[in-house]
Amino acid sequence: MRVAGLLLAAGAGRRFGGPKALVSRGGALWVESARSVLRDAGCAPVVVVLGAAADEVRARAALDDAVVVENAAWATGMGSSLRVGLAALDSSADAVVVLPVDTPGVTSRAVRRFVDLASPTALLRASYDGAPGHPVLLGRAHWAAVAESATGDAGARDYLRTHGAVSVPCEDLADGADVDRPEDLR
């Protein structure tokens, strides 16, 4: 089973005060750390979608082992980044693990749980104490429909809900909190 990784890192981070891809914690940019989480979990290739401050991210981040694509419509929301990322995946992948850059508590062990459950028809979503979160795994059979339905900042949320995504508990391996503002960091 070949599982790709898709890192969504295109947003401007207005509530945070700047693009979250460029946030540094522990000596690494979040975009680098999240790419490493996907890679270390066995995802290949890892596609990174940039948008806001793309030139600065490219200049500052070590992403040589990733496929970096740019979402010109990044300001329209995560849905457009998801569409751009899915379109960039090669035909050899059976599934993709999707991770937004603003979930720095997600670990490679949590992502590996999804890689181990992957299939071309799988539709999986992390849960933390019963609440839905990231990462998400989309089997290839879902890519076209997800891309068609992805709009605004909802990404694949509605598709996952209406198509019965299987909940995969991850609270034992990760903290799936989205970091929207600096005060959200624990």
Please report, for the chain, the start and end positions of each structural domain, with discontinuous segments joined by +.
Answer: 3-184
Q: Does the structure show a pLDDT above 90 at 178? A: no
State in words which class domain 3-184 has. Answer: alpha beta
pLDDT tens by residue, 103-152: 999 999 999 999 999 999 999 999 999 999 999 999 999 999 999 999 88
The first and second tokens of residue 144, run together, are: 């076209």
The first and second tokens of residue 12, run together, are: 């401007």
Residue 186: pLDDT band (50, 70, 90) is low
Among 44, 45, 30, CA closest to 106: 30
pLDDT tens by residue, 40-88: 999 999 999 999 999 999 999 999 999 999 999 999 999 999 999 999 9
- Strand duo 123-128 + 166-169: pairing: parallel
- CA 132/CA 126 separation, integer angstroms: 6
- Please report the pLDDT score of residue 158 as a whole number: 93
